[in-house]
Chain A
Amino acid sequence: MFESPIREPLILGHKTYRQITTDLASPILGPASWKWYLTTAFTAAVMLAGFGAIAYTLWVGIGTWGLNKTVGWAFDITNFVFWIGIGHAGTLISAILLLFRQRWRMAINRAAEAMTIFAVICAGLFPIIHMGRPWLAFWFLPLPNTHGSLWVNFNSPLLWDVFAISTYFTISLLFWYTGLIPDLAMVRDRAKPGSFAYYAYSILSFGWTGSAKQWQRFEAVSLVLAGLSTPLVLSVHSIVSFDFATSILPGWHTTIFPPYFVAGAIFSGFGMVLTLMIITREVLDLKDYITLEHIDAMAKVTLATGMMVGFAYATEFFIAWYSGSYWERYIFLNRAFGPYWWSYWAMVSCNLLIPQVFWFKKLRRSPWFVFVISIFVNIGMWFERFVIIVTSLHRDFLSSSWRMYTPTWVEVTIFVGTIGLFLTLYLLFARFLPVIAAAETKSILKTSGDQYAGLSWEAYQTKKRQGAAAPAFQPAMDPDTPQS
């Protein structure tokens, strides 16, 4: 097989199959460091604080929040959309990049899918708490009841959301677990027979052996699940955007919302993936698997999707002016120059302006610099949802009912608590499950490992340093023919 000399290797350090196994299984079976315990204790404490604030809300009521009659949706729905968006990068990486046969996804898909699941858990909390009586959440399901039966309203995008989010969660979980089974079997066979870990991973790996027939079915199922997840991920955030777009409120009632929300979701998801993966590769010493090439590729996606949302911001303004609707124009001017101007400009600078630094290759390849930018992306995308929700609501059609919205400590604690929940789940995942898809990484070793693809790459680099022209068609070491 021909490997282009300009394609960089994805696995560094001249790895063998055995080393990949060891690198991924030994942190799971070895003892955890005190740093892990300390960090997990801290995030778990933050999570419990959030649960405390939720309990307080349920005990006293939604009146503990800063909502008022004009601004009925604020922090909670902002957080809901924020977390759902975070999840989208995982599905994009695992499903869409699989269909496009992008090999660089293999190093990050497992962790990104895990983030999807944890983010959807965090997101799902908010609408349920906002109901005020979460024990009646089952009223959202089309169940026969004693009111007639009076059924749920199938015209309501809020109901579509219930179906979309629960389907998204279920399919993401199954997709993730399908990929995990072979790797859990790998951990099982490394554990000491008879030990607790051996039994635990035996149960979790479902008796996987890796026979040719199992792998054949595995690949068929992965491909179909990827094919199902791709339209699913686009539909989920489109439906979330319908929550706003199908209303008649200026600022929400726009047809650009579905593509705008999907691009924003992928943007924010990649922001979070970068934030966590840069820390993970450092802490678990996975720099040979999550290489600068990976960070570079993710930064490029971030730049592209950041400009898409920037384009959507501009389009919204243009349409507001072009529509000739007085209310529409006012709401957008108020967004940028009204009392919440700071949140609008925080959004524009974090999402559109700051990611422009990713035009420079040197900056895309400095992990800690990318890390700082990814934090800005997370902040910016949170503000985007805040801007859309609060600034559209706070000044409605009657100026007598104009109100300002300020969150209370309860709302802030719940939000910070979900960050704690997300990080706690991620830390548990990084401790007990292989953070990189080991089997899939092994399957690309012979095409993307630096000792195979790298021969031509290194030769190319040396030649380039010497000032010679790039070797036009230097055949790489052919991994498809058996070596003598």
Chain B
Amino acid sequence: MAKYLIGLYDDEDKLLSAVEAFQKEGIPIHEVCTPFPVHGLDHALHLKKSRLPDAAFVYGAMGTLTALSMQIYMYTIDWPINIGGKSHLPFPSFIPITFELTILFAGVLMFLSYLFVNRLYPGRRARVYDVRQTDDAMVMAIADEKVWDQARDLFRKTGAFEAKIVEL
């Protein structure tokens, strides 16, 4: 059971200026939870850019290679069939399946990576500071008990409509 001081905001602009104010004061922000994606919040929190798109490219390339090697092995190497003298390596015919498997690998593996890096899985207990964080409130959580007094002050100054201590 960890204790957090949370401040609730009802407006994303207040939240963004609050994040800036907290950083200026040097108060470490544990987490910010919002009911919808807030533009600029990741920059304000100095979050590193997600590398999932890069991973998707690698997964896609894996799909391309899998599809091409599968088709070439089956159709050209393992059992070449003479169909009216057509090529044993009909590259244009391989394009549709290669394309589809590229998309399939990139999409499925990226989705699984997304769940993995976010630690999302069926049955996981959600660590919800306040149920309003999926409704209409943006929640900023401060973990370090030493700065709580300072943080409570700053919550008031930056326009949080509520500040309280929660345990989860």
Q: Does B150 contact A (CB under 8 A)?
A: no
- Check B124 against A206 for contact (C-beta < 8 Å): yes
- Count how many pairs of residues, one from A and one from B, have CB atoms less than 8 Å apart in the complex: 205
Chain B's interface size range is 35 or more
Is the CB of B65 closer than 8 A to any CB of chain A?
no
Q: Is A315 among interface residues, defined by CB-CB distance under 8 A?
A: no
A340 interface residue (CB < 8 Å to B): no
What 0/1 pattern do residues 163 to 176 of A give for CB contact below 8 A with B?
11011001100110
Q: Determine if B162 is an interface residue (Cβ-Cβ < 8 Å).
A: no
> Which residue, B13, B32, B56, B103, has most C-beta atoms of chain A within 10 A?
B103
Given contacts A220-B50, A439-B35, contact A151 B103 (CB under 8 A): no
Contacting pair B96 A239 (CB below 8 A): yes
Interface flags for A185-229 (1: CB within 8 Å of B; 0: not) read 110111000000000001111111111111111111101110010
Q: Is the CB of B124 within 8 A of A207?
A: yes
B71: chain A residues at CB < 8 Å are: 154
User: Chain A contacts of B144 at CB under 8 A?
Assistant: none
The answer to the question of A148 belonging to the interface, with a C-beta cut-off of 8 Å to chain B, is yes
Which of B32, B35, B86, B104 is close to A167, meaning CB atoms less than 8 Å apart? B104
Enumerate chain A residues within 8 angstroms of B39, measured Cβ to Cβ: 443
- CB contacts under 8 Å to A, within B31-77, are 31-39, 41-42, 45, 47, 50, 52-53, 56, 60, 70-71, 74-75
A215 to B120, CA, bound (A): 13
Q: How far is the CB of A160 from chain B (nearest CB, A)?
A: 4
A324 at the interface (CB under 8 A from B): no
| A181 interface residue (CB < 8 Å to B) | yes
Find chain B residues with CB under 8 A from A224 CB. 52-53, 56, 106, 110
Q: Does B123 contact A (CB under 8 A)?
A: yes
How many Å from the CB of A162 to the closest CB on chain B?
A: 9
Are the C-beta atoms of B99 and A235 separated by less than 8 Å?
yes
B118 in the interface (beta carbon within 8 A): yes
Q: How far is the CA of A481 from the CA of B101 in the complex (A)?
A: 46
Give the contacts of B10-33 with A (CB-CB under 8 A). 10-14, 17, 31-33
A468 within 8 A of B: no
A202: chain B residues at CB < 8 Å are 123, 125-126
Q: Does B127 contact A (CB under 8 A)?
A: yes
Interface SS majority for chain A: helix
Residue pair B114, A154 in contact (C-beta under 8 Å) = no
B166 to chain A, nearest CB (A): 13
Q: Which residues of B contact A149 (CB under 8 A)?
A: 78-79
Q: Which residues 101-158 in B have Cβ within 8 Å of A in the complex?
A: 101, 103-104, 106-108, 110-111, 114-115, 117-128, 131, 133-136
Contact for B13 among A152, A219, A442, A480, CB less than 8 A: A480
* Closest A residue by C-beta to B121: A206
What CA separation (Å) do A81 and B108 show in the bound complex? Answer: 25
| Highest count of chain A CB atoms <10 Å: which of B52, B99, B100, B124 | B100
Q: Is A182 an interface residue (CB 8 A)?
A: yes
Tell me which residues across on chain B come within 8 A of A163, comparing CB atoms.
96-97, 100-101, 104
Check if B93 is an interface residue, CB within 8 A of chain A: yes
Do B97 and A154 have beta carbons less than 8 Å apart? Answer: yes
Query: Which of A13-21, A381-389, A397-405 is the interface stretch?
Result: A13-21
From the candidates B56, B79, B90, B125, name the one contacting A150 in the complex (CB within 8 A).
Answer: B79
B123 to chain A: which residues have CB within 8 Å?
202-203, 207
Quick one: closest B residue to A175, CB to CB? Answer: B107
Question: Is B83 interfacial (CB 8 A cutoff)?
Answer: yes
Which chain B positions have C-beta within 8 A of A228?
Answer: 56, 60, 103, 106-107
In the complex, are the beta carbons of A440 and B36 less than 8 A apart? yes
- Is A215 touching B38 in the complex (CB atoms < 8 A)? yes
Bound CA span A377–B126, Å: 45
| Distance of A208 Cα from B114 Cα, bound (Å) | 12
Task: Assess whether A159 is interfacial by the CB under 8 Å rule.
Answer: yes
Judge if B94 is at the interface, Cβ distance under 8 Å.
Answer: yes
Name the residue on A nearest B115 (C-beta).
A206
Question: Shortest Cβ distance from A170 into chain B, in angstroms?
Answer: 6
- Proximity bits, A222-248, B CB within 8 Å = 1, else 0: 011100100110010001001000000
B141: nearest chain-A partner, CB-CB = A211
- A132-145 CB mask vs B (1 if < 8 Å, else 0) is 00000000001000
Is A155 an interface residue, CB under 8 A from the partner? yes
B97 cross-chain contacts in A, Cβ below 8 A: 154, 159-160, 163
CB distance B90 to A154 under 8 Å? yes
Say yes or no for A482: interface residue by CB 8 A criterion: yes
Enumerate chain A residues within 8 angstroms of B117, measured Cβ to Cβ. 217
In the complex where A154-B97, A189-B135, A217-B114 touch, is A209 in contact with B128 (Cβ < 8 A)? yes
Q: Please indicate the chain B residues that have their CB under 8 angstroms from the CB of A160 in the complex.
A: 96-97, 100
16 pairs across A/B with beta carbons < 8 Å?
A18-B136, A148-B79, A149-B79, A164-B96, A171-B107, A171-B108, A189-B135, A202-B125, A203-B123, A211-B31, A212-B45, A215-B36, A220-B50, A221-B111, A224-B53, A228-B60
Q: Which 4 A-B pairs have the closest CB atoms?
A: A207-B124, A17-B136, A206-B120, A151-B74
